[in-house]
Amino acid sequence: MSLSVLHPGLLTTVQDLGRPGYQQAGVPVGGALDAVALRVANLLVGNDESAAGLEITLRGPCLRFDAGGLFALTGADLSPTLNGQPLQLHRPTWAPVGAELAFGAPRAGCRAYLAVAGGVAVAPVLGSRATYLRAGLGGWHGRALRTGDELPIGAPLPLGQRIIAELAKNQSSIAQARWTPGPQLCPAPRHRPVIRAVQGPEYGQFAVASQRAFWEQPFVVTAAADRMGYRLQGPALARLTDSELLSSAVTHGTVQVPPGGQPIVLLADRQTTGGYPRLAQVITADFGALAQAAPGQVLRFQEVSLDEAQALYLAQERAVRALQRGIQLRFA
Amino acid sequence: MPPGAPAQLYPLGDAAVVVQFGDAISRATHAAIQAFGAHLARHPFVGLRECVPAFTTLTVYYDPWLVSDGGQHPPYETVADTLRALLATVGPPAAAATTNLVEIPVCYGGAWGPDLDFVARHTGLATAEVVARHTAPDYLVHMIGFAPGFPYLGGLDARLATPRLAQPRPRVPAGTVGIAGPQTGIYSLPSPGGWQLIGRTPLRLFDAAWAAPSLLHAGQHLRFVPISAAEYARTQQHEP
């Protein structure tokens, strides 16, 4: 099976859950910015949650199924259609041979995820199929998709085959399942998201007024926003000292503040180390909400304790694991 | 932190702990980080993802679900307790293994190092003296960061310190050796950059096809060895 790229969209890349283990060599973990959305899409088509899918940014591609295939879309609502027929998100969907998946105007959110039963079957690089654009590695030849690419799709797992057998009694017509995961795993991206964060290691080096401004004032995601991070625009944040910091680890969700005072929030393709003060750290449970903020959107930060962050992390993990078990039981 | 003070632990969000061994760049702090990293590698805990050494810190990434045994224990506290116990049992840093010396051939000046003359003028040294002083020390790889395979080196001759360019170049080729303030380093991938460029090595510093994708790693020592343009052309490994 393969997917033919009739039109690539703005930025469509192959992503999985990233390549941990190489940060010592300066290689970021990378992978889907909204990892929970990709995991859910994979589970809906009977894949392992870490299978490779497509991350689709704002303006979606047009893709043709060169054979019939089971797929699911999660994350942003970018007005998806199959052969012109509007689709719902978060549902296993059967595409007959030759069907064309297209997208229209972005309705909510910035990044949609497409999982196809069997997964995108490119060769792993350093243990992952994720595309790391800066170094040109992983994914489809280390780059975003282009017109004419033919993406190989693996064979569906037995679970995926059972979902297909129930859904697609007639394989020549489109079918969408009636069931979806619970609302916790299908959040509608908010227009003005509130992103929860804990204090970063250098939080105490900032003026109290700047600390307060960070939690209370809105910030705009500027056009300088990519898979490495977003430059934000808002009140200038002042550090009390101008002592030079020594480079130390930064990670997905680190909010760092360069000398100009406008913060940068780092995403999955960030550097592994940095020398700017780390004001805050977005909690893992809100990486999805952060990934769904598009340039021009306004967001706010809300302070939570480490205990709350950990509780929210564990609750999210429980929800994903419950979905996985539920699908396995249903199609046992 | 006073020298010899016990390491400090603090969270970097909800999935990483920073272990800080000092406040300043020093070979002793570096040796303590290396020793603890090796100790942790010999005694990994369930849920350990990976470690990132830097100048004064070792950051330990973990999977909160696994370390908490599915939410039965608080993740950060569990990891911090484990790390404190390991800190109490780590042995003294191993003597610096200077036998582990990597030679980096560099073609200095000309098209490979367009800022060599500027560095000479800025430091008041002849270009040959800049090259002699740059190739004299054994440098220590403190950490890899900024980009895949990019080494942060300690040991630059203080006389060679030169400020960054006012206007960064849009593209610096892979393998270019530069100076920025009191630091020297090697661009491992083509990228924009504001360092003063004094030469270029024909070696690849990063290749995702290698099992260990970075030529260099923290804790290594290296020396720059001057080579001719002809030797550069004969040995160059970079993509055209």
Residue A80 — φ and ψ, nearest 5°?
Answer: -75, 145
Q: Name the domain boundary from A187, A211, A228.
A: A187
Of B10, B52, B206, the CB nearest to A273: B52
Percent of chain B with pLDDT over 90: 85
Q: Which of B50, B145, B213 sits opposite A273 (nearest CB)?
A: B145
Residue at token pair 């002809």: B230
Decide if A201 and B150 are in contact by the 8 Å CB cutoff.
no
The domain in which residue A173 lies consists of: 2-187
The pLDDT assigned to B238 comes to 84
Average pLDDT, rounded, for chain A:
97
**What is the CA angle A153-A155-A159, rounded to 5?**
125
Residue-number span of the structural domain to which B31 is assigned: 8-87
Give just the sign of the alpha carbon dihedral A198, A202, A204, A210: negative
Determine, yes or no, domain membership for B240. no
Looking up tokens 């203080």, which residue turns up? B158
Domain edge (last residue) among A170, A187, A204: A187
CB contact under 8 A, B56 and A20: no
* Residues B132 and B224 placed together within one structural domain of the fold: yes
What confidence score (pLDDT) does residue B95 get?
Answer: 64
> Is B13 within 8 Å of A281 when comparing Cβ atoms?
yes
User: Which phi and psi angles does A100 have, rounded to 5°?
Assistant: -110, 125
**Inter-residue contact A195 to A282 (CB < 8 Å):** yes
The complex's ipTM works out to 0.96
Alpha-carbon torsion, ordered A285, A133, B168, A23, to 10 deg: 60
% of chain A surpassing 90 pLDDT: 96
With a cut of 90, say whether residue B197 has pLDDT above it: yes
Mean pLDDT of B61-80: 97
- Does one domain contain both B200 and B129? yes
One domain for residues A54 and A167: yes
Residues A199 and A146 in one domain: no
Which of B35, B55, B87 is the C-terminal boundary of a domain?
A: B87
Shared domain for B127 and B49, answered yes or no, is no
* Same-domain status, B26 and B62: yes
> Burial letters for A147-184: b for 16+ Cβ neighbours within 10 Å, e otherwise?
eebebebbebbebbebbbeebbeeeeeebebeebbeee
| Long-range own/partner contacts, residues B169-175 (CB < 8 A, 24 or more apart) | B169/B193, B169/B194, B169/B197, B172/B197, B173/B200, B173/B238, B174/B204, B174/B205, B174/B206, B174/B238, B175/B200, B175/B201, B175/B202, B175/B203, B175/B204, B175/B205, B175/B236, B175/B238
A152 shares its domain with A24? yes
- Domain of B44, CATH number, reads 3.30.1360.40
Q: What is the CATH number of the domain that holds A236?
A: 2.40.100.10
Q: How many domains does chain B divide into?
A: 2
Contacts of B188 in chain A (CB under 8 A): 26
Query: What mean pLDDT comes out for the span A221-226?
Result: 96
Backbone angles phi, psi at A33, to 5 degrees: -70, -40
Residue B17: inside a domain, yes or no? yes
Is B226 found in the same domain as B130? Answer: yes
Residue A118: both structure tokens together = 């069997």
- Is B2 within the bounds of a domain? no
Name the residue among B50, B147, B189 with its Cβ closest to that of A24.
Answer: B50
Does any domain span residue A17?
Answer: yes
One domain for residues B18 and B112: no
In this predicted structure, what is the pLDDT of residue A242?
81
**Closest-CA distance of chain A to residue B199, Å:** 22
Least confident segment among A92-101, B55-64, B189-198? B189-198
B78 touches A at CB < 8 Å: no
| Cα nearest neighbour of A250 on chain B | B12
User: Which residue in A186, A298, A205 sits closest to A244, CA to CA?
Assistant: A205
Q: Are residues A89 and A205 in the same domain?
A: no
Tell me whether residue A326 is in a domain.
Answer: no
Together in a domain, B32 and B60: yes
Cβ–Cβ pairs < 8 A, chains A and B: 143
Q: Does B52 touch chain A (CB under 8 A)?
A: yes
What is the torsion angle, in degrees rounded to the nearest 10, for the CA atoms of residue A214, residue A216, residue A217 and residue A220? 70
Residue B174 sits in the same domain as residue B204: yes
Place of tokens 């009191």: B182
Whether A303 and A242 map to the same domain: the answer is: yes
Among chain A residues, CA nearest to B50 = A21
Candidates A26, A137, A254; nearest CB to B214: A26
Question: Coil, strand or helix: which one is A169?
Answer: coil
B106: CATH: 2.40.100.10
What is the pLDDT at residue B96?
57
B213 → closest Cβ in A27, A251, A282: A27
Nearest CA in chain B to A246: B55
Task: Flag whether A61 is in a domain.
Answer: yes
Q: Is it the case that residue A38 has pLDDT exceeding 90? A: yes
A144 plus A202 within the same structural domain: no
B110 in the same domain as B78: no
* pLDDT at site B69: 96
Contact between A23 and B61 using a beta-carbon 8 Å cutoff: yes
Which amino acid, B111?
A
Taking phi first (over 0 means left), then psi (-120 to 50 degrees means alpha), and beta for anything else, what does residue A329 get?
Answer: alpha
Residues A174 and A291 in one domain: no
Output phi, psi for A221, to 5 deg: -75, 120
Q: What's the pTM value of the predicted model, to 2 decimals?
A: 0.95
Summarize the confidence of residues B17-33 as an average pLDDT. 95
Of A294, A277, A291, the C-alpha closest to A214 is: A277
Q: Indicate the number of domains in chain A.
A: 2
Say yes or no: B113 and B167 in one domain.
yes
pLDDT at A266 over 70: yes
Closest CA of chain B from A64, distance in Å: 31
Q: What is the pLDDT of residue B97?
A: 55
B210 lies within 8 A of chain A by CB: no
CA dist A242 and B171 (Å) reads: 29
Among B87, B118, B142, the domain-final residue is B87
Q: Chain B residue closest to A126 (CA)?
A: B208
Q: How far is CA A276 from CA A68, A210, A242, B171, in A?
A: 50, 16, 11, 23
Whether residue B113 sits in one domain with residue B76: no
* pLDDT above 70: percentage of residues in chain A: 100
Residue B35 sits in the same domain as residue B132: no
